[in-house]
Homo-oligomer: A and B are copies of this chain.
Amino acid sequence: MTPKAPFFLGLDVGGTKLAAGVADAEGRLLARDEMPAGARDGPEAVIERLVGLSGRVMDASGVARSGIVATGVGCGGPLDPVAGIVREPPNLPGWHDVPLLARLREGLPHPLGERPLYLENDANAAALGEHRYGAGRGVDHLVYLTISTGIGGGIIADGRLVRGENGNAAEIGHMSVAHDGWPCPCGSRGCLEAFCSGTNIAARARSRLLAGEASRLGEMWPTTVTARDVAEAARAGDPLAVRVWEDTTAVLGAGVANVINLMNPRLVILGGGVTRAGEQLLSPVRRIALERAFPYLASVADVVLAQLGPDTGVVGAVAVAQARLVAETEVGRA
């Protein structure tokens, strides 16, 4: 295929790594690169690295800089997607009200700084990516969940991202399905994230090991047990791991049912590192969610795995740029 203009730059700012990509209007990546974020060096150093990475990935893409019409940036929230300001994401220590778009506008190579730049919560960006280029193509009503070290999400209703009053809708990780249950660092109880994130799947397995429950995971040094180890041991029939995995899918299934009852989506798309377990995760979550959801809403809903995989961050950022550029053009036209 011959790549066709217009092209977009997508930037993904994570606590661990920075990623950048150049893609065409169908979300196909012409070039992609990443580097460690070095988040402990603070926002200015991270932004400088991001600018350098952007230049390199544009050079690698072979696309003339003038062919790139807009830049999308995905970043951990909370943030202000309209003003382009990152508030204070837990994964980016030292970031407080950082005017990320203004800094990029100064730093990005000409003419990108003068062209549209858009910021979005990274989970919202991933939802837009799946909507435009992934599992949710052509679907007007969908909810995306990322199950990784944390749990986040994004909601598309009537084909458009639901942002909410200050741009932070879809904090699905902090939906409580146990109002007086396990504590969550956010101050609430029973939050999905505090039970089903990769971090917490591993933590529940470790606390069972430390309580003396028998398991093949006991051969490992307890603090090194990960969610992936739990998934593998569960596949092998290890009773402790099976129990932890079943608890995980029961709680996730209840959460997904809530999402179906609230949003009446056609699709709930599961992404993030924990979904590398594939059918082992999807199959029970899907079954439980569709059993629990209100029948008339369950009848039109399905639960599927995300399709963009490790490129979600940059492709999602590209989707942000494209979607917002299109929306602004439409507003301008009216």
Residues of A within 8 A of B (CB): 77-78, 87, 140-141, 155, 157-158, 160, 162-172, 174-180, 186-190, 250-251, 254, 257-259, 261-266, 291-297, 299-301, 334
The one of B190, B264, B295 that contacts A165, using a Cβ cutoff of 8 Å: B264
Q: Looking at A160, A165, A172, A186, which has the most chain B CB atoms within 10 Å of its CB? A: A165
Bound: A168/B141 CA distance, A: 12
Q: Contacts of A265 on B, CB cut-off 8 Å?
A: 164-165
Pull 9 A–B residue pairs with CB atoms less than 8 Å apart, ordered by A: A141-B164, A157-B157, A158-B162, A158-B163, A164-B264, A165-B265, A170-B262, A171-B264, A171-B297
The one of B78, B158, B294 that contacts A296, using a Cβ cutoff of 8 Å: B78
Q: Check B251 against A291 for contact (C-beta < 8 Å).
A: no
Other contacts beyond A164-B265, A189-B292, A190-B254: 10, CB < 8 A: A77-B296, A158-B163, A166-B296, A169-B262, A176-B292, A186-B294, A187-B291, A187-B292, A188-B293, A334-B334
Q: Check B168 against A296 for contact (C-beta < 8 Å).
A: yes
Q: Check B174 against A177 for contact (C-beta < 8 Å).
A: no
Bound: A251/B181 CA distance, A: 12
The dominant DSSP class at the A interface is loop
The one of B158, B176, B264 that contacts A166, using a Cβ cutoff of 8 Å: B264
Bound: A189/B291 CA distance, A: 11
Q: How many copies of this chain does the complex contain? A: 2
Q: Contacts of A190 on B, CB cut-off 8 Å?
A: 177, 254
Q: Contacts of A163 on B, CB cut-off 8 Å?
A: 158, 264
Bound: A297/B250 CA distance, A: 27
Q: Check B264 against A179 for contact (C-beta < 8 Å).
A: no
Q: Contacts of A170 on B, CB cut-off 8 Å?
A: 262, 264
Bound: A168/B262 CA distance, A: 9
The one of B171, B180, B263, B301 that contacts A294, using a Cβ cutoff of 8 Å: B171
Q: Contacts of A180 on B, CB cut-off 8 Å?
A: 178, 250
Q: Contacts of A188 on B, CB cut-off 8 Å?
A: 254, 257, 292-293
Q: Please name the residue on chain B nearest to A157 by beta carbon.
A: B162
Q: Contacts of A295 on B, CB cut-off 8 Å?
A: 186-187
